[in-house]
């Protein structure tokens, strides 16, 4: 039996994003969640991949060597601009301790572990948990599976279907679509 993904509540996500002391770390974690990024995608993100005018991120050569676009959150765009002003990154959005090389996967995972502890989260959570939480929260908000598949860059929809099992959706009351075409038809 395949194990279900770990998903953080929205409140836990907020606590997580506020846990790190460094602005760079807070923005990195929030960006991963806000765009459903894989660890390799956030590490290899260049400033040129962020389009503030069109409010989107260009994810290049991801898994299966595919490119995709994902929406850029207004709140994240504001945070990124503050981070750029404070830290002055050059080519890469997030750099390592030396100030110019890529952050390591190990460094990002270490930052995530510290944030999970600092936020008081008891679940076993990795950076990928933010991606799983992103997909699940979108599904709970009513976004269709096909759109979520495209945003995540999944090759097959069957990969995306796992989120149906963890989402806490409120079942809508069954109705006829005719009633939504003519909502006042039953009134006299």
Q: Which residues are catalytic?
A: 38, 63, 128, 131, 154, 163
Q: How many angstroms separate the Cα of 69 from the Cα of each of 10, 33, 131, 155, 160? A: 24, 15, 15, 15, 17
- In terms of Cα–Cα distance, which of 54, 53, 37, 14 is closest to 94? 37
Q: How many angstroms separate the Cα of 144 from the Cα of each of 149, 150, 151, 157? A: 9, 10, 11, 11
Rg (CA), the chain: 19
Q: Which helix (H) or strand (E) holds 70?
A: strand 68-71
Q: At what angle do helices 74-87 and 23-35 cross, to 10 degrees?
A: 150
Beta bridge partners of 59: 68
């Amino acid at each position: 039996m395949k194990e279900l993904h770990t998903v953080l509540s929205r409140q836990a996500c907020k606590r997580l994003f506020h846990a790190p002391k460094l602005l760079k770390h807070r923005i990195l974690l929030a960006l991963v969640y806000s765009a459903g990024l894989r660890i390799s995608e956030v590490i290899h993100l260049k400033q040129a991949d962020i389009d503030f005018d069109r409010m989107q991120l260009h994810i290049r050569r991801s898994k299966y060597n595919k490119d995709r676009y994902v929406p850029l959150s207004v709140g994240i765009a504001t945070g990124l601009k503050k981070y750029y002003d404070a830290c002055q990154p050059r080519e890469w959005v997030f750099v390592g301790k030396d100030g110019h090389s890529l952050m390591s996967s190990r460094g990002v995972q270490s930052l995530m572990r510290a944030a999970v502890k600092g936020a008081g989260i008891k679940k076993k959570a990795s950076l990928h948990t933010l991606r799983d939480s992103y997909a699940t929260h979108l599904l709970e908000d009513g976004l269709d599976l096909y759109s979520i598949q495209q945003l995540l860059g999944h090759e097959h929809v069957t990969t995306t279907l796992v989120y149906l099992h963890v989402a806490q959706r409120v079942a809508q009351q069954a109705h006829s679509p005719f009633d939504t075409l003519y909502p006042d038809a039953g009134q006299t």
